[in-house]
A and B are shown apart, each in its own frame.
Chain A
Amino acid sequence: METKSRTLEITILSAEDLRIHNKSVKKNAFVVVQTDSFNSKTTKMNGKGGSSPSWNDKLVMDMPMHTRFVTLQVKCKSLGGRDKTIGLVGIPVTDFIGGYSPETCLQFLSYRLRDPKGLKNGILNVSIRLKEPLQACSSQAAVASGLGIPIDGRNDFGVVTGIPICSGYQFTSFFR
């Protein structure tokens, strides 16, 4: 029987060097984790952490088989009530499935956050573990979802992280 979704245990550890409008973030940052449009969870807010808050918050959520990215958004509560997005990152599922470490093993990963305009804005540290090991039937599902011909004979299923481009921006700012 094919499993429809897997259980993902993601612990949001900490973030470094968060900035908003070119100033360091003072407080009240939190992270929203989303595996698809129906599954989303939020960490607690970090009151005092400043630009390098630490949460150490473990979230357990479902991850459907077709998920390609786990999206993490770092936001902060602003006075007006509307949350501001400080940075976000999409973790390709292949980064923790089918990679080096066995999946049920705890993996520590760190990612570069980019703000909504695409500029670098800090680092996010997480640890991820999958509850169930990969079964034979689900690997078939992974194969089925790959489209096209692999380049250069590689079997990565070609998931990459794209960087959004905003019109009117200096070209050189992305490569800092």
Chain B
Amino acid sequence: MGNCCSDVGGGMAAVSGAASSAATGNQNDAVDMYLRSHGIHGLFSQIELSFSATSLRDRDVFSKSDPMVAVYIKERDGAINEVFRTEVVLNSLTPTWIAKYTITYHFEVVQNLLFKVFDVDTQYHNVEMKMLKLEEQQSLGEACCTLSEIVTKPNRSLTLDLIRREESVSSTHSQHCGKLTVHAEECFSSKSTADIILRCIGLESKDLFSKSDPFLVISKLVERGISIPVCKTEVLKNDHNPTWKPVFLNIQQVGSKDSPLVIECFNFNSNGKHDLIGKVQKSLADLEKLHLGREGENLYLPTLVGHNYENKILNSKLLVDKFSETVQHTFLDYLAGGFELNFMVAIDFTASNGNPRLPDSLHYIDPSGRLNAYQKAIYEVGEVLQFYDADKRYPAWGFGARPIDGPVSHCFNLNGSSNYCEVQGIQGIMMAYTSALLNVSLAGPTLFGHVINRASGVACDSLSTGAKKYFVLLIITDGVITDLQETKDALVKASDLPLSILIVGVGGADFKEMEILDADKGERLESTTGCIASRDIVQFVPFRDVQSGEISMVGALLAELPTQFLTYMRRRDIKPST
């Protein structure tokens, strides 16, 4: 049985078409809702892939090849599913296909794509694309890459060599047959958002004993005079000269700046039947003129005169107190502008992990090749982030152990060197990790402060050289930290740097105390000197919590990263291109 009364409070709240600080920037709220309900919380964005090729092989006898492209997605379990086919371009060895493939870009997932180019025989030319059996066509070559490789290129185009696999036994000999260029474009044409403050004066009273409770509904006019509501302000009680809170409208949502909009002022009634006080028809460009001219526009009310409706002009006016247009750059814009995400790793070598030679230790290297929790965490996170780092050199540290000749170190270079801390590639991290296990003896206690300060130093050095880098530190630990206050101090100092910290808790410890560091789950961090973290840079995920279900550990960990990156850039007004 439902509620007896409606949610009046909810009915009075403002409903906006565009989020004021949209990090996702999607143009389709339904898609947003769908993806979020499936547990996908990270940054996702619609991308259109377009294809062109050069130097294709000539397979036809009397004319050139008639190529087409088929796109496949390689799932994590190895299955390859076809998702798209372009049209056939006749007689060309350097085709540019028109059909574009729309794919949702997920930051926190590695999306493997496979492209196969086929030469379609003349007899099939009139067959519908979907009905074509690709096995019967001649393959001109194939290529594969990940979606992140494409979007991180400066002009968002990736050129791949097509490789043709021979069906014969000597399949080690693969021939190069041309190049395929894949180009990515983000799907919305306009990223401009208009930030408007609207105000009315001289409204008339519609209620018997009190003043009106006005609110505005902004709708866009589509053909045949039908209006579709785009956003609604909050209800202000008992006010004949209301000023509503700012309204954010995505310009693409309403069409364009010149699209006609109807702004209606209603009087709120808790029975749901709101009386129209007056309305006005203006486009966004008109509203901007009203703002600049500081004039108001009179509302009109369609009133019944005889059998017709006439527009009676009222004395009430609509004024625009603020009209500002901002362009919201998206995460992909920054990537295309040359920004990098630099990956750094810190591994817990405290004794609570257990003796690495024993199979029940968290650091046990299984000879059968099964990855331990630390290796899994490094691999899964590194696998996603590696594409965003140009030189693939990652600083790697360990903490809480005693290197062969020395006291306990809370931040030692994983590669064993005393001069530099970087290793090459994810493989480099794995190798340094396994060799470090042999060369250090586990000790304790678990302190994060030193590692965070070290990472902050790296970020700071890069800031002073003006590099377009954002740093991501992954800390993998098995236990609760013992220096909570020093860690908080280090985090507060680091909160103003281009740095995000991801913490993965492995093993069976109770990580409740660690959740304090993640401001999502608690309050803003405060240092001993009364300084407070200016933004939340920590994301903490216990490894075991997310083993089942659709949300992967990597997803939960990386979900906030693009938002933290964008918050840092937008606050400082750093634009993607110089």
| A110-B463 in contact (CB<8A) | no
Q: How far is the CA of A6 from the CA of B457 in the complex (A)?
A: 26
Which chain A residues lie closer than 8 Å to B459 at the CB level?
100
Which chain B residue lies CB-closest to A110? B532
Give the interface SS of chain B, mostly helix, strand, loop or mixed: mixed
Which chain A residue lies CB-closest to B492? A110
| A112-B497 in contact (CB<8A) | no
Instruction: Count chain A CB atoms within 10 A of each CB in B459, B496, B530, B535 and give the residue with the most.
Output: B530
| A123-B532 in contact (CB<8A) | yes
Interface string of B528-552 (1 = CB under 8 A from A): 0111111100000000000000000
Distance from B74 Cβ to chain A, minimum over Cβ atoms (Å):
42
Other-chain contact of B572, A95, A106, A111, A125 (Cβ < 8 Å) = A106
Q: How far is the CA of A108 from the CA of B526 in the complex (A)?
A: 15
| A89-B530 in contact (CB<8A) | yes
Given A100-B460, A101-B460, verify A95-B496 contact (CB < 8 Å).
no
Given A100-B493, A100-B494, verify A112-B526 contact (CB < 8 Å).
yes
| B529-A160 in contact (CB<8A) | yes
Taking the complex as formed, is B464 at the interface, i.e. its CB lies under 8 A from any CB of chain A?
A: yes
Q: How far is the CA of A173 from the CA of B12 in the complex (A)?
A: 39
Other-chain contact of A109, B456, B460, B531, B572 (Cβ < 8 Å) = B531
Other-chain contact of A95, B457, B497, B524, B531 (Cβ < 8 Å) = B531
| B497-A110 in contact (CB<8A) | no
Give the interface SS of chain A, mostly helix, strand, loop or mixed: strand
Q: How far is the CA of A101 from the CA of B497 in the complex (A)?
A: 7
Q: How far is the CA of A95 from the CA of B496 in the complex (A)?
A: 11
Q: How far is the CA of A95 from the CA of B457 in the complex (A)?
A: 15
Distance from A73 Cβ to chain B, minimum over Cβ atoms (Å):
14
Which chain B residues lie closer than 8 Å to A95 at the CB level?
529, 531
Instruction: Count chain B CB atoms within 10 A of each CB in A89, A100, A107, A125 and give the residue with the most.
Output: A100
Q: How far is the CA of A118 from the CA of B101 in the complex (A)?
A: 62
Residue total for A at the interface (Cβ-Cβ under 8 A): 20
Which chain A residue lies CB-closest to B525? A110
Taking the complex as formed, is B571 at the interface, i.e. its CB lies under 8 A from any CB of chain A?
A: yes
Which chain B residues lie closer than 8 Å to A80 at the CB level?
none
Which chain B residue lies CB-closest to A109? B534
Given A99-B493, A100-B494, A106-B572, verify A111-B460 contact (CB < 8 Å).
no
Q: How far is the CA of A99 from the CA of B531 in the complex (A)?
A: 13
Distance from B366 Cβ to chain A, minimum over Cβ atoms (Å):
40
Taking the complex as formed, is A165 at the interface, i.e. its CB lies under 8 A from any CB of chain B?
A: no
| B571-A108 in contact (CB<8A) | yes
Which chain A residue lies CB-closest to B456? A100
Distance from B264 Cβ to chain A, minimum over Cβ atoms (Å):
26
| A112-B530 in contact (CB<8A) | yes
Which chain B residues lie closer than 8 Å to A123 at the CB level?
524, 532
The 3 residue pairs across chains A and B that have the minimum distance between CB atoms: A110-B532, A100-B460, A108-B534
Residues of A at under 8 Å CB distance from B? 89, 92, 95, 99-102, 105-112, 114, 123, 125, 160-161
Interchain residue pairs with CB less than 8 A apart (23): A95-B529, A95-B531, A100-B456, A100-B457, A100-B460, A100-B496, A101-B460, A101-B463, A101-B496, A101-B497, A102-B460, A102-B464, A105-B463, A108-B534, A109-B496, A109-B534, A110-B531, A110-B532, A112-B531, A112-B532, A114-B530, A123-B524, A161-B529
